[in-house]
Homo-oligomer: A and B are copies of this chain.
Amino acid sequence: MRKIIEQSNKNLTESLAYQLELNTIPVGISARHVHLSLDHIDILFGKGYQLRIHKELSQPGQFAAKESVMIAGPKGTIDKVRILGPARCTTQVEVSLTDAHRLGISPPIRDSGDLAGSSPITIIGPKGSIYLKEGAIIASRHIHMSEEDARQFQVHDREKVHVVSQTKRGVIFSDVKIRVSADYRLEFHIDTDEANAAGLTNQDRVWILK
């Protein structure tokens, strides 16, 4: 009898946890990082160099490379900046506002890939360096999700929602853009400033508020 009650309680707890989890979104914190084009990998690491996988990321096919670079602005440098692979068409540097102050640059807050008029930045590798007239941004907060997630949360691609974090340092993030794609895994992407301001760590869970 006791065993049956225990099992039943266990099922109930698991079911409740599942129900709760259904309505929440795990947090993924992006530290400063660089996406490189093949041409720029050649310049920074040598002709034909292949990035090596250090760790798979939560978004399918994406990885943190073993290689890192230094980035530099007029006021300072930051070394050991991780490279995210695979290679992209256009090189892009994503930093926090804290990093931007340290480097002495004023990048716009942008969606990934929207680089027109973004900040100039220098990237230094072991075999060479490049100066980008534009390429540094502060990434806009956003939620990646699949089409099934979008149906469940009753949101659509590019919709803007609020996101609630119920930490000790509670914050409601406004203007969070929904990004829907079959390739995306459910995750609320913020940078380290946003995570620190809200006291959030990776895999904490947040809610959508429409």
| CB interface residues, A 54-113, toward B, < 8 Å | 96-98, 109
Is the beta-carbon distance between A196 and B97 smaller than 8 angstroms? yes
A208 CB–B CB distance under 8 Å:
no
SS class, residues of chain A in contact with chain B: mixed
A175 to chain B: which residues have CB within 8 Å? 168-170
Is the beta-carbon distance between B196 and A96 smaller than 8 angstroms? yes
Chain B nearest Cβ from A127, distance in angstroms:
30
A199 to chain B: which residues have CB within 8 Å? 97, 109
Q: How far is the CA of A168 from the CA of B176 in the complex (A)?
A: 11
A124 CB–B CB distance under 8 Å:
no
Excluding A109-B169, A109-B199, A193-B193, 14 further A-B contacts by CB distance (< 8 Å) are A96-B196, A97-B196, A97-B197, A98-B98, A98-B196, A162-B172, A169-B175, A170-B175, A171-B171, A171-B174, A172-B172, A193-B197, A197-B197, A197-B198
7 of the cross-chain contacts (CB-CB < 8 Å) are: A97-B196, A97-B199, A98-B98, A141-B169, A171-B173, A172-B172, A197-B198
